Structure 1
């Protein structure tokens, strides 16, 4: 019996290897088109992404940031759309979330399954949160740790020049659930949009460093955090956004990327005194951490080219991977790029710059649950083509991107590997 079982295991392994080899052979490299003014050095180790052609999507909503719980499930917010899933009794239900206006609600759901191509969404629900004095309140920071679910929100405002939520407001703290989303302790009054968790300007067009923070993905139950702390990465700007567009601070555009950290607990995540901010480096190269937000320094500074940012720790490679989206004028095609570093504070190196990716992809992140054992393959999670909801009819490049939780399998390449692979045809 053991011999038969071993035989079938070898056969299945051989079949899986054949399938993987075929996907590698069929994969195509996204051509990296780094702008001439890029201040970031190219990576010496990694030099591109290849898309295998395997993709899938779930729901008709965006803003998915899965956090890997100790129970093996993924926990994520969502918004601005419909999500159909199973309730706790196994009955199919549809939940609609919309984050604009006084009746704004943030969606949340649990994602089960180990195969990205065959996942199940369960227990979708809603959290109400008035955005006043701003026009919208959207989910961002997402963490499930030791059985406690934290979902953070941030504020946004539109402007007379008509672009999509071009004024980024403050981070409004965390909602907290201790029963997997059945009930929520909403963020306290001290963190609401009129003030924000962090001591940043509260003017409706003021400069913001931590307007759209995202929790760094350290793996299952945050098992790979270097010091037990939750880190958050965010894009911002040192200038206020104005009618003449001299500054660049919206939900998907910015000038810098910042980093902060806190030991996560229900008592600390909404306590600004518990946070530290990356404050640059000493003359000998050691990281500086400060409790003074005014002393926070960016981990990346690229004027008008930063935007929505997420970081995942790739344990097999012992590297951090950062996804950044430059959202143009917010109503346009977007560029996204991938950076790598041995340290969470950098220095960061360019892996690939994907012009017009998605074709309008945003909120890119790399769920650590789906990183391969060798670290060289993973699944990009993103939403795309939101303007198609209004009849724009953008093409999906690569195929599969949609206004949903899109999952796209990619291969992380060295320069030699990238040079030998066929190139994906994209819009220039």
Structure 2
């Protein structure tokens, strides 16, 4: 996404309950040491060490039944070919053995623009459920400061995609940045018969022009596994009763599972389009967010929470160097999480258009350690 991105201070609200104690836990992870009794936190490398050799950003991804990683990019060429606002790729290999990517589909093969001239399509989430792949696509304003509509396309092979061509699934800037919960290979770790997805209102990150409110809340929905593209079957988290989540079909009644009103030193919000993944070995869920100058990490024992801000990693103000830099569009691909849940690889990007002094516009991975206790 060729946009200028910036990016901690304030207060955290988790599952609608104030958590002012979380504010003091925002020091950079790579400047802290861990102990056996310390709460879970993510420690990340200062820069990526593995790149796939692609052109593009965002890269929401899912681990398919064929063993490959399917990942979607914005504003690039992917692994060769003509530039496009959106594309889907198939990536094989591992960070340790090397990655190989192939373009599968681009542009109009994946979806359409709903919001008029100047808007472009951007991938926000992917899910591999059984043998089917789902791709969430939002309309993004020319200045990247508003996301008014989105829809979901599906495919069995990653090449041929289908979606409702008559109307978007979500509109009015409500739940339009859709991020699927990553439950591992072919969604096999998912409990029950539902696919879960998180959403942001208004925009995919801080709206610099303030044309819409900055996202400060993370919402949750579920849909039967066999009805992901049927908007009428979606249910939204509406709070809890006696410790159990309450679901309802009215999107107007949705309640956030996480609210974080902190701002970066540059004044940006810290809830953004990232990734949410389940780590089976730790029995915990991890949300990777960002303000660009900072990475923001959260953990929860259930999809609906309670969510806790684990830590921030602060990469400082521009200019950055290739030896140490932050980025946007964070995700922890489930395929690359170690069986013990303690090491993983984080994907992020830096746009060449940003005044960062460098760029990292590729499927780029850096090492992560999950340290401390999950309870």
TM-score between the two structures when normalised by the length of structure 1: 0.69
1:141 aligns with one of 112, 116, 125 = 125
- Structure 1 residue 98: Cα displacement: 2.4
Once superposed, what is the RMSD of the aligned Cα atoms? 2.8
Find the counterpart in structure 2 of residue 204 from structure 1.
none
Alpha-carbon distance in 2 for matches of 1:300, 1:123: 35
Contact 1:149 1:181 in 2 (8 A): yes
SS at match of 1:120: strand
Alpha-carbon distance in 1 for matches of 2:121, 2:329: 16
Contact 1:371 1:378 in 2 (8 A): yes
Contact 2:115 2:149 in 1 (8 A): no
Find the counterpart in structure 2 of residue 55 from structure 1.
49
Moved more, 47-56 or 136-145: 47-56
Contact 2:181 2:196 in 1 (8 A): yes
2:290 aligns with one of 315, 322, 325 = 325
Taking a change above 3 Å as real, the CA distance of residues 359 and 214 of structure 1, as seen in their structure-2 partners, is same
Alpha-carbon distance in 1 for matches of 2:47, 2:239: 40
Find the counterpart in structure 2 of residue 154 from structure 1.
138
Contact 1:116 1:370 in 2 (8 A): no
- Structure 1 residue 261: Cα displacement: 1.1
Alpha-carbon distance in 2 for matches of 1:309, 1:364: 5
Find the counterpart in structure 2 of residue 189 from structure 1.
165
Contact 1:49 1:411 in 2 (8 A): yes
Taking a change above 3 Å as real, the CA distance of residues 244 and 153 of structure 1, as seen in their structure-2 partners, is closer
- Structure 1 residue 122: Cα displacement: 2.3
Which residues of structure 1 form unaligned runs of 5+?
1-32, 85-93, 100-105, 159-163, 202-207, 327-332, 397-401, 416-428
- Structure 1 residue 54: Cα displacement: 6.3
Which residues of structure 2 form unaligned runs of 5+?
1-6, 14-18, 26-37, 262-268, 317-323
- Structure 1 residue 276: Cα displacement: 0.7
SS at match of 2:186: helix
2:363 aligns with one of 385, 399, 405 = 405
Alpha-carbon distance in 1 for matches of 2:217, 2:276: 15
Contact 1:141 1:152 in 2 (8 A): yes
Find the counterpart in structure 1 of residue 84 from structure 2.
98
Find the counterpart in structure 1 of residue 281 from structure 2.
316
Could you say which structure has the greater relative contact order, defined with CA pairs below 8 angstroms and 6 or more residues apart? 2
SS at match of 1:269: coil
The 5 A counterparts of 1:1-400 are 35-39=9-13, 40=19, 42=22, 45-51=39-45, 55-58=49-52, 59-84=54-79, 94-99=80-85, 106-116=86-96, 118-128=98-108, 129-134=111-116, 135-158=119-142, 164-171=143-150, 173-178=151-156, 180-185=157-162, 187-191=163-167, 196-198=168-170, 200-201=171-172, 208-236=173-201, 245=210, 247-249=212-214, 254-265=215-226, 268-282=227-241, 284-303=242-261, 304-326=269-291, 333-356=292-315, 359-384=325-350, 386=351, 388-389=352-353, 392-395=355-358
SS at match of 1:294: helix
Runs of 4+, deviation exceeding 3 Å: 38-44, 114-117, 241-244, 356-360
TM-score between the two structures when normalised by the length of structure 2: 0.79
Q: Deviations over 1:16-73 (max 9, x none)?
A: xxxxxxxxxxxxxxxxx96243344548521341428762112121121221111211
Aligned pairs, number: 326
Alpha-carbon distance in 1 for matches of 2:147, 2:293: 18
The structure number with the bigger radius of gyration is 1
Contact 2:288 2:331 in 1 (8 A): yes
Find the counterpart in structure 1 of residue 266 from structure 2.
none
Taking a change above 3 Å as real, the CA distance of residues 188 and 156 of structure 1, as seen in their structure-2 partners, is same
Alpha-carbon distance in 1 for matches of 2:234, 2:164: 17
